[in-house]
Amino acid sequence: MIVIGKEYRFTSLEIKNLKNRFGSIDCIEDKDKNIQDILQEVKQYLGDKQECIIVLNMPKVLFDVISSSLEQLEATNLHIMSIASFLNIYLQKCYVDEHKTLNDIVETIGHFSPMQYLLKRLIDFVGVAFIAFFSMPVMLYSIYRIKKESPEGGIIYSQQRVGLDDKEFTCYKFRSMPVGSEGATPQFASKDDNRAFEWGETMRKTRFDELPQLWNVIKGDMHLIGPRPERRYWVDQFEKSIPYYKKRHSIRPGITGWAQIKYPYGANEEDARHKLAYDLFYIKRWSLVYEFIVVWETIFVVMGKRGL
């Protein structure tokens, strides 16, 4: 695999997974280089390789020029791809392009069709009945532990979150932190948040704290599976700095989702950008297959306490 350009920043986990798949990743800088210099480096990296994928990690205006030049190379099994196509096929995420020139897939993202929505609601109700039945002992035990470890404050923590079509709704969770832990300014949650009390930390790692959101699913505020609902404070910031962020509000948010099983807790704007890429892929490529994949992976998250 050869990557030309640095428009998209791969995460360390993505690089590790891609190396396991392709064996090696060679990167070529495109800044301050002419086409002939780039072609020469490509030839050196190709060597006697029988097959190679070349990813053009650059704006579309450069993509067209370099792509036509690469096609003239005398090499067999040479696959030339844009960064948008590569992410879509190999990492199952959409490319959130700052220049908005390689986002044909993202541009067409919209609401679910009536049939998709009916299937989603059927999954919601079946899932809620199943989860509520088997999680009742956990919920009762959580109530006991919360009152024991943090008696000041209620059992349920409610907060306004942004949902379908950018409208706010009241989201419910088991309280996992002492009252007043956040302070005046909202903070990103983290995997090992030291603000949580003992059972609160366990609930966060296993996602037991999100069980009250089953009521949100029944009410129709949320789906079982979808983008994670965010607070208005963060949404307003991300909509200004991250292209297409509003697209994630084309469907109802979910208790778990494609981004949650593919990416860890978000701690900054860069993490929000990567999670958006997974959310957009899920919305665009939605199918029953992806629903079952998310459910299956979430079970391992809960059982293994790999809270994301």
CB of 3 closer than 8 Å to CB of 27: yes
**How far separated are the first and last CA of the chain, in Å rounded?**
29
Asked whether residue 99 is assigned to any structural domain, the reply reads no
Asked whether residue 258 is assigned to any structural domain, the reply reads yes
pLDDT at res. 101: 67
Same-domain check for residues 119 and 86 = no
Same-domain check for residues 39 and 132 = no
pLDDT at res. 81: 92
Cα–Cα distance measured from residue 134 to residue 216, given in angstroms and rounded to the nearest whole number: 18
pLDDT at res. 37: 87
Cα–Cα distance measured from residue 42 to residue 5, given in angstroms and rounded to the nearest whole number: 12
Q: Which two tokens stand for residue 8?
A: 């998209």
Cα–Cα distance measured from residue 58 to residue 263, given in angstroms and rounded to the nearest whole number: 24
Same-domain check for residues 84 and 226 = no
pLDDT at res. 181: 74
Same-domain check for residues 134 and 25 = no
245-282: per-residue pLDDT in tens? 999 999 999 999 999 999 877 778 999 999 999 999 99
Same-domain check for residues 44 and 178 = no
Asked whether residue 25 is assigned to any structural domain, the reply reads yes
Q: Specify burial of residue 276 (Cβ count, 10 A radius: 0-12, 13-18, 19+).
A: buried
Asked whether residue 16 is assigned to any structural domain, the reply reads yes
147-166: per-residue pLDDT in tens? 999 999 899 999 999 999 99
Strand 156-162 to 168-174 pairing: antiparallel
Strand 156-162 to 78-82 pairing: unpaired
pLDDT at res. 308: 45
pLDDT at res. 59: 81
pTM, whole model, 2 decimals? 0.89
Asked whether residue 98 is assigned to any structural domain, the reply reads no
For 90-93, the CB contacts below 8 A with 24+ separation are 90/18, 90/21, 91/14, 92/258, 92/262, 92/278, 92/281, 92/285, 93/262, 93/274, 93/277, 93/278, 93/280, 93/281
Asked whether residue 291 is assigned to any structural domain, the reply reads yes
Asked whether residue 102 is assigned to any structural domain, the reply reads no
| Low pLDDT (below 50) residues in the chain | 307-308
Structural domain containing residue 137: 114-304
Same-domain check for residues 30 and 162 = no
**Phi/psi at 272 (nearest 5 deg)?**
-60, -35
pLDDT at res. 183: 62
Asked whether residue 238 is assigned to any structural domain, the reply reads yes
Please count the structural domains in the chain: 2
